[in-house]
Every structure is written in C-alpha cells, then in structure tokens.
Chain A
Amino acid sequence: MRHVVLERWSRGESCVHRRDPRAKIVALITFLAVVATAHRALAWLAPGLLLLLLAGLVLAKLPLTGALVRAALVVPFTGVFALICWFAGEPALGLRLLAKSYLSALAVIWVVATTPLPALLNGFEMTGVPRFLLMVCQFLYRYLFVISEEAQHMSKAAAARGTAARNWTAPGPSFRAAAGALGVLFARSYARAEDIHRAMLARGFDGRFLQLHSEHFRPADTVFALVASLAPVAVRLTVERVVG
C-alpha cells in the first residue's frame, strides 16, 4: 500500500513531534488568526511569518523543499481568486490572498507533518471538536487508501486489457469503461461500508464512539504552546510597529 509522505513525516522524531497535539493545535489556530486578520504591512509581515515557519520546520527536522512544495498545492485554488482580483483591478488584494493562503497551508503542513493523524484527531476531540465529525474524517482517511487501491487495481486490470493507450475521457468505449468502473467502485465502497458497519455491530457498537485516551498535557507542552502561539503575534506586532 502507498502512503502519503506527510504521514511518514508525522512518525518522525523531534522536539515538535513529541509535543501534545493540543499544544500544536493552539499554536496553529493562533497563527491562522494572525495571518487571517493581517492587513497592514503584509509585504513585510509575510516574509517574517515565513521565516518563523521555516524555523519551525527546521526544529521539526522536516525537509524544507518538500514542505514548501507541498504547501504550494494550495496556489492553483487560491490563484483563481487572485486572478479574478487582478482582473477586477485589485492586484494587491490578489497577492495578499495568495500570500495568506500559502502561509496558512505551510502552517497546517507543519502541524500535520509532526503529529500522527490518530493523535491529531484525538487532540481535536479533546479541544472540543465534535467526535462524530472527527470519526467521519478518520473513516475517510482510513478507507481512502483502500478505495484508492481498489481503483488502482481496476485501472491496472483495464490497462492489461488494452485500454491504457486510449484517452478515457474521449467519448467511446474507453469512456464507457471508465464510467462503468466508477459505478463499480461506488458499489464496492457501499458494500465495504456495510461490511464495516456489520463488524462494528458484531463488537457491540451502539452508535456511540468510545475511545482510549492516552495524551497527557505536560509543562513542556504548556511552554511550547505559549512560545509557538506568541511568536507569530510578536512578529506581527513588531512589523506593524516598525513599518506601519
């Protein structure tokens, strides 16, 4: 099975990895709030916040280029809105949108790449996010790979029977085969959902998700949460005082 790089990174070893997920969630929320509400001197603030995130990535022993490239995946999405702003005669607004979305994505990567998903979801739950919502995320993540593997197997089977050379989006037999495969994938996903539900019922599931909790918030986590949360606030206050 192929796994996402972020998950491999999240199993790494560093002082950031060791921190309680709640401390990192608090730091992330503060950072996002600082970025979202920044309007003045963003041209100076953005590089400052970027440097802060780079320091965080170095501290977490994460590959800088890999993290920066992955954060750029958000650009095509916000780029559309940035272009609209540009054509509407607001190029500065477009650039602000791009900068804010990129910094936010990089901050999210910093947290996700230093916290295994189970621990992250557990952290969100302990900070008050509805458990049901988190379970949906967990199931989606858990079975996304399984369904994606099934799709890959079907694609290979189709390729083995000579469909690879054709453009499957073009009208014709290949397009029909792809549409059929999508239908089969949906049916299989539905069947798997039924199997999972059956396995849950067999172990006494009554609609409530109960979990084992293991996280302990230590003094070091408090210090980390304070430092990591105050750092972007300090950067913003400093930039706004010096520049604006």
Chain B
Amino acid sequence: MTPLVEVHGLHFRYDDGTAALNGVDFHLNAGETVALLGPNGSGKTTFVLHLNGLLRGQGRVSVSGLTVEPKNIPAIRRKVGIVFQDSESQLFMPTVLEDVAFGLLNRGLDSVTARARAAAALETVGMCAAAARAPYHLSAGEKKRVAIAGIVAMEPEVLVLDEPTASLDPPGQRSLAGLVADLPQAKILVTHDVPFALALCQRAVFFQAGRIAAEGPVEEMVCRFDWHFAFERSKSPR
C-alpha cells in the first residue's frame, strides 16, 4: 500500500542558522493516527509545517503521490489541513461561520455551498449555536473546536493537530478526544499529552534534535523514552 504521506531525508535550517530538521524519514498510511512525541524544540512543529508547503526544506515530501513543490501547493493544501496550536491565530474572521467558510471560499466554492458546508462542519464539532458569534467571545475549548471545524470543512485527507489539548481543561480534553476519534481522516497529532496519544494513536514517532529517534506503538515509545509524568517527593528530611 502506498503511504498517504511520504517524507525522505528532510532537512531544514531557519534563517538564524538553527538546524531544525536533520534528515527526517516518515510515512503515514490512510486511516492511520500517528502521534509525534518529543522534547520542545525537537522539530515536531517545523516538520508538520512542511507537509503542506508552509516551510520548504531539502528532501522529498509527498502527499497522495503529489510532491510538495510550488506548482502543487494549492492541491497539497486541500489535502493536508493543519490545526495550529494557538487557535487565537487561526480564528481571524469576524464571526465563527465566516471563519469556518474562509478556506471553502478560497477553494472557489460559491457563497451558498460554502455556507452550507461550514454549517455542517460546525455541527460535526458541536458548535452550531456559535455560528454568528465572534471568535474572541469563545472559550479555549470552543475556539479549538471551531478551528478544527475550519479545517474539517475543507475535507482534507490528512488532518494535522498541533498540541490540540494545550490550554484545555480535562473535560475539554476528553471531549476533544471523542471528536478527533470520530473524524475519518488520517491524523498526525503533535502532542506532549501521553494519555491523549495513548487513547487515539496506533503509532508514535519520537523526535529528538531534528531527527526521528524511534517509532513504534505509543506505549513502547513512552516507556523507552520515559515520556510520562512521574514524580516522587524525596523522603529524606530537608
């Protein structure tokens, strides 16, 4: 089976000289959900920004057989939807409905179709009632749902969620997990949230210093890299 996303030998260096990716090889199969784990600054977010051409490094990135290069960028961006970590930056239109319809109008859909699809996406994420509200009136969890609706409405083949549970309370995280699990797309979750990754992902990829250090089942990666929170207070007197 040809993977939906294939990355070979991806290198990227920021303008200030920081080497963010040092030869990443990655694949994602249709219907699969993969967690990207790893320390802060290990290159996870930089990596996912390459998947729809927002950053261009050296190496080969292809989505559904299309190589990420300038002539394919519009098609690639229809196939890969990214939900950014900070929903505040993603929700810039005056109302929720207009924000969700933003990508649809850019794809050339007429106003009536875009409105209907945006409304359907809002229903999928349980935010129909907020359609006419201004995004800055929403709670963090609601903003995240609307941001997801904006991407889901475009019906991408691959859904990338960057730190989706950041700034959400535990009920919000549970509710988001349920929502993400029900979405049919192949998914890449960039996260530090191990329970979230365990609940949703079949596989985890562990980033270290701009490389993939290891990949395998989430539990195995968590154990191998001691990637969970455990703290024992010292019993010795102070």
Contacts and interface: CB of A to CB of B under 8 A. Distances in A.
Contact of A212 (B74, B77, B82, B114): B114
Nearest to B80: A202
Given A1-B136, A211-B105, A212-B115, A202 B92 contact: no
A199 B89 contact: yes
Interface in B81-125: 81-82, 84, 86, 88-90, 92, 94-95, 97-98, 101-103, 105-107, 111, 114-115, 118
A198 B101 contact: no
Interface residues of B, number: 35
A17 B12 CA distance: 53
A204 B52 CA distance: 10
A118 B91 CA distance: 14
Contacts of A211: 98, 105
A85 interface: no
By secondary structure, the B interface counts as helix
Nearest to A198: B54
Interface stretch (A31-39, A102-110, A139-147, A229-237): A139-147
A203 B92 contact: no
B38 interface: no
Interface in A119-174: 121-122, 138-139, 142-143, 145-146
A203 B88 CA distance: 15
16 contacts: A121-B94, A122-B94, A142-B92, A145-B136, A196-B89, A198-B54, A199-B84, A200-B92, A203-B103, A203-B150, A205-B102, A205-B106, A211-B98, A211-B105, A212-B114, A212-B115
